[in-house]
Structure 1
Amino acid sequence: MSIFDLTVDLGLISVLLLIGVWLRARFQFIQKYFIPASMIAGFMALAFGPNGFGWLPFSGSIADYPTILIAIIFGAIPIGAAQVNWKKIFHRVRNMWFYSMTLTLLMWPSGLIITYLVLGHIWDLPSGFGFALGAGFIGGHGTAAAIGDVFNAHGWEEITALAYTSATIGLLCAIVGGLFIIKRNARKNQTAFLSDFNDLPEDLRTGLVKKDHQASAGKETVSPNTVDPLFFHLAIIGVVVVISYYLQESLEALFPQMSVPLLSLAFIVGLIAQMILSKLKANQYVDKPTVNRISGTATDLTVAFGIASINLAIVADYIVPLVALFIFGIVWAYLIFHFISPRVFHQHWFENGIFGWGWSTGTVAMGVALLKVADPKSEATTLDDYALGYAGMVPFEVIIITFGPLLIISGFGVVFTLALLAFWVILFVIAAKSGWLVSEKRVRERRKAL
């Protein structure tokens, strides 16, 4: 791969992303379903790129980009984390953490459960087939690439295409299913901030923000005379990723049988980097909104390149069990939303729950998009609570992504599945006994309205 290959790949995907932005702003059908430009670009790249008609000269490396991009996303999570007054928000963040853990511990093993109990008895499927559901739905395209790298290292290359497909289907389910849920609950007065779905602001529908509504994307924390503030933040994340890469190379040289995902190491190195920044009192020069913009850019590119990388021939070979797997995943995710979110959140349960639906079927970005529909003025504390609770959940997600594939490959998939479910049961019992959850009377009132 040459620098010109990289330039052409980024140039082509940029063109497709801009076309996606134009299509979103122009056509009501796309606005109706809030389809992001990254997904539109990905489908066009899939159709006209090397896995489709072959009209667009993408390089053979487009499937490798999500691995690096997801490392940028995970490495950026701890960078610039703010100090907070835990006494005021502990109860909210605790419950959001519990719900995030619920989604993580129940969605990741869900595909393995249905595969071991049903699908594996009907079709001759690889042991890791069901893991594609969790990797795609709650993980996304970047995570699909990460677990694909581990399975590829042990001889099963098809999992990457299956996980990418799962992530793409998950995005569609997040959007279509989420909008249906919001419309239905808005009619039943279950939404706290949305009275009529048709009254959503035009900015939200078209994706283009009018001049009088535009806000700053970040602050200048260093003087442009020294270095551009955007590059300053890119440099911090770049250092995290490159250290993670060399750490991964060293670990794999020492332990050839173990493949550690780059995103896992990036998160750990990011935590260390944030501790160093705080210790040196340099954290004041890190602007979290700017870091989020970099992470958001990486997310858009991950989705676009991930969809473009889907091998349709592999998908066709597994199409029937894949459809069954996805149907189960959608039903499973809805049951979590329907039965658990009303029990967990004392305030704004629907807004928190619909964010969780978008995240558990698509990506965090889809959860944010649906939350903006249900809460156009951002009056709920969902994102603040999630950002703080997520820090306590990510280590568990990293452990799942790192060791899950290795356990499945080693024949311990059932043990791995049961361990995740047992851990969630323990957490649920602790939450119930400690008074974290909503009273049954209140839950019955909410479900009656549903």
Structure 2
Amino acid sequence: MTANEVGFAFLILGIFLVLGKWIRVYSSLMQQLFLPSSIIAGLIALLIGPEVLGAAAAAVFSPDHFLAQGLLTETILEVWAALPGLFINIVFASLFIGTTLPSLKKVWIIGGPQVAMGQMVSWGQYALGMLLVILILTPFFGTNPLAGALIEISFVGGHGTAAGLGETFDELGFAEGYDLSVGLATIGILSGVIIGIILINIGARTGKAKYVGGKASFSSKGQHGIVDLHNRDASGDMTTRPESVDPLSIHIAYVGLAIGIGWVLLEGFVWLEAVTYGAATDVYLFEYVPLFPLAMIGGIIVQILSDKLDRFQVIDRKTINRVSGLSLDILIVSALATISVSVIGDNLVTFVSLAVLGIVWNVFAFLYLAPKMIPSYWFERGLGDFGQATGIAATGLLLMKVADPNNETPALEGFGYKQVLFEPFVGGGLVTAAAMPLIFQFGAVPFLIGCSAVTIAWMIFGLLYFGKK
């Protein structure tokens, strides 16, 4: 594979992103679903690729038909297949760079109820997924026990986490888990938005959603995803002069530094494990852990050092968001475009049952546990947790924007603080990365027992501590 072929693959990916954007601009359905352009682009690429158009052409005409591989070449798909595992490191390394890290006391006071709620839901997804696998899917359908971790990986982690664990799926002998998890992540985002909007409408009619602004809170261009011309910042966020170093370049360099620190940490853990309990017990976990959760820790270290040493405050959070956003768009398009539809079809019972169970648990937790665990503004605050538990943090932010457009409740602030004690562990953090290696090393039943215990502990804590306030 040549550099020109790699560059051409990126060029084609960009064309799909532009196509996805303009479809969203002119499609009222896409706007009502608040579907990101990257997901639209990825689904279009999947439809015209070998898995859909190619398979249909081969079935209708012949395997030798010129459309039997779709409209995308093998080289393009080969490049795209490698992108999710690379760009997820950028996304997670960017999470805390450029942010003001609050004190843990402030995080706990304001975001504590949402921390308890989010942790309970995430660990509950593991527990219920493992229970389904152990009792039904493995004995009756031969499903790999590792599938029990897919709800949390896909729903809370999203496309990025699901795609970023691609090598882990392969190393643990569960290659089909990649396609299932990316597919589940798509179901999660769609169900999170659709069910979330339904819940908001029900809440508005029953008086539970007192601050709901509905669609009126979005301008026409806002629904299109376009920033009004008079609201655009012409100068941009320039923290360095371009003749010295371009601001984008220095921010990408900081993200690269965070990834480098994460790599050193991961290699250190692998070495430490090998010379301590690994050699004695033949139990190895860190060799199966991907880089991205450690890249997130590297980002935190970079930010701490920047706070202490950089008196010029060169790091700008908005620019970091652009770096992260670009990486996530590339990741989503490439991950969706390279899904194996046939693998999902071969594991349809597993796919559907995990999706349904995850959605039911999330809705139950929001409707029946959130009011008892979140002492004030439970609807708005719990809605953010529901959105994140079903379709990543962006879905939670979207639903809170609809339910509380003027930020009259502490939902948004609490949701932001929650991430400090949430993201490093679940939703793509260390626990998410280690879940499948733990199941692989210790078995499904011990993992089920552990997850159930943690779920119950967070539930009791939330009900008795925060619920009493």
Q: TM-score, normalised by structure 1?
A: 0.88
| Structure 1 residue 411: Cα displacement | 4.2
CA distance in 2 between partners of 1:274 and 1:213 (Å): 29
| Structure 1 residue 69: Cα displacement | 1.8
| Structure 1 residue 104: Cα displacement | 2.3
Instruction: Provide closer, same or farther for how the CA distance between residues 378 and 298 of structure 1 changes in structure 2, counting only shifts above 3 A.
Output: farther
Corresponding position of 1:220 = 238
| Structure 1 residue 418: Cα displacement | 2.0
What is the aligned-residue RMSD (CA, Å)? Answer: 2.6
CA distance in 2 between partners of 1:89 and 1:328 (Å): 31
From 378, 387, 394, give the equivalent of 1:349: 378
Percent identity, aligned pairs only, is 28
Aligned counterparts, 1:297-316, within 5 A: 297-316=326-345
Q: TM-score, normalised by structure 2?
A: 0.85
* Residue 446 of structure 2 corresponds to residue 415 of structure 1: yes
Aligned counterparts, 1:299-448, within 5 A: 299-397=328-426, 398-434=429-465, 436-437=466-467
Question: Letter of the aligned partner of 1:94 in structure 2?
Answer: G
Question: Letter of the aligned partner of 2:47 in structure 1?
Answer: A
1:63 is paired with a residue of what secondary structure? helix
1:156 is paired with a residue of what secondary structure? coil
CA distance in 2 between partners of 1:95 and 1:217 (Å): 40
| Structure 1 residue 135: Cα displacement | 1.2
| Structure 1 residue 170: Cα displacement | 1.1
Equivalent pairs, count: 438
CA distance in 2 between partners of 1:332 and 1:216 (Å): 45
CA distance in 1 between partners of 2:297 and 2:46 (Å): 33
Corresponding position of 1:443 = none
Instruction: Provide closer, same or farther for how the CA distance between residues 157 and 214 of structure 1 changes in structure 2, counting only shifts above 3 A.
Output: same
Does the CA-based 8 Å contact 1:5-1:59 persist in structure 2? Answer: no
Does the CA-based 8 Å contact 2:85-2:166 persist in structure 1? Answer: no
Does the CA-based 8 Å contact 2:214-2:402 persist in structure 1? Answer: no
Residue deviations 1:119-150, cap 9 Å, x none?
A: 33331111112222221111112211233322
* Residue 95 of structure 2 corresponds to residue 77 of structure 1: yes
Does the CA-based 8 Å contact 2:260-2:298 persist in structure 1? Answer: no
Corresponding position of 2:56 = none
Aligned counterparts, 1:242-261, within 5 A: 242-245=260-263, 248=266, 255=274, 258-261=287-290
Does the CA-based 8 Å contact 2:110-2:413 persist in structure 1? Answer: no
Instruction: Provide closer, same or farther for how the CA distance between residues 22 and 248 of structure 1 changes in structure 2, counting only shifts above 3 A.
Output: same
| Structure 1 residue 310: Cα displacement | 0.8
| Long gaps (5+) in structure 2 | 54-69, 279-283
Corresponding position of 1:13 = 13
CA distance in 1 between partners of 2:192 and 2:296 (Å): 26
2:212 is paired with a residue of what secondary structure? coil
Question: Letter of the aligned partner of 2:254 in structure 1?
Answer: I
CA distance in 1 between partners of 2:195 and 2:36 (Å): 15
| Structure 1 residue 82: Cα displacement | 0.8
CA distance in 1 between partners of 2:179 and 2:99 (Å): 34
* Residue 148 of structure 2 corresponds to residue 123 of structure 1: no
From 110, 133, 144, give the equivalent of 2:151: 133
Instruction: Provide closer, same or farther for how the CA distance between residues 40 and 205 of structure 1 changes in structure 2, counting only shifts above 3 A.
Output: same
